[in-house]
Amino acid sequence: KAGVTQTPRYLIKTRGQQVTLSCSPISGHRSVSWYQQTPGQGLQFLFEYFSETQRNKGNFPGRFSGRQFSNSRSEMNVSTLELGDSALYLCASSLAFSRGGYEQYFGPGTRLTVT
Amino acid sequence: DQQVKQNSPSLSVQEGRISILNCDYTNSMFDYFLWYKKYPAEGPTFLISISSIKDKNEDGRFTVFLNKSAKHLSLHIVPSQPGDSAVYFCAASVEGNFGNEKLTFGTGTRLTIIP
């Protein structure tokens, strides 16, 4: 079974621009979560989508947004990029509902560099 | 505030010996705890989890211990192998309306196994 795929793998943008990252979950997985990884902060939860609806949201500004399509693929958008947005953005997919202890399957991430 | 803390950014262990990675948390509502392992240029992969109603869970060379009164968990790897060299993330979650989708991660511990 194919894993979670993320495109592109690397991106370089300048301050003020916007960026869109894409994530394709494992076949059959309907929940997609996004995380930001920065040195010293670990992985921080951005948001989670299920059936095209955002079910959970982390503590990030409104410049960070996302959406999910009917085929469960998800996109994440960051507008008005800031230097501090440079990070590894990870997408994870999972089954629709799990009462704890389940694992999320992560993609390899998109490395975003803002200059 | 950092609800999940991994106070040791790095750890070096001789091959064949025991590796012990530690994690502390502050939110007493967490009901599931997980460990993930991450190699460079790859997404985190699930290792092992434990429910808050248990104090130990074992899977092969990996054992996770949970001390709820101390709000502390640890991952033991015995015996340590060179392939275990990676960054290890501790994560925790609270069951919400849709399960345990939102994971709160620690900042990670880089484990190096010395041959």
Please indicate if any CB of chain A lies within 8 Å of the CB of B34. yes
| Rounded Cα–Cα distance for residues B60 and B40 (Å) | 24
Q: Is the pLDDT of residue A102 over 80?
A: no
pLDDT in tens, B47-105: 999 989 999 999 999 999 999 999 999 999 999 999 999 999 999 988 766 665 678 89
Q: Kindly report the CA angle at B60 between B59 and B66, in degrees rounded to 5? A: 40
Q: How far is B41 from chain A (nearest CA, A)?
A: 6
Residues B62 and B76 sit within 8 Å (Cβ to Cβ):
yes
User: What is the rounded radius of gyration, in angstroms, for the C-alpha atoms of chain A?
Assistant: 13
The A-side interface with B (CB below 8 A) comprises 4, 31, 33, 35, 40-45, 48, 50, 55-56, 58, 90, 92, 94, 97-109
Please indicate if any CB of chain A lies within 8 Å of the CB of B1. no
| Rounded Cα–Cα distance for residues A31 and A5 (Å) | 14
Residues A3 and A105 sit within 8 Å (Cβ to Cβ):
yes
Residues B1 and B101 sit within 8 Å (Cβ to Cβ):
no
Please indicate if any CB of chain A lies within 8 Å of the CB of B40. no
Q: Decide: residue B82, CB within 10 A, 0-12 exposed, 13-18 middle, 19+ buried.
A: exposed
| pLDDT for position B99 | 60
Q: Is the pLDDT of residue A101 over 50?
A: no
Q: Which of B51, B89, B100 sits opposite A43 (nearest CB)?
A: B89
- Which of B7, B64, B101 to probe the A interface (max A CBs under 10 A)? B101
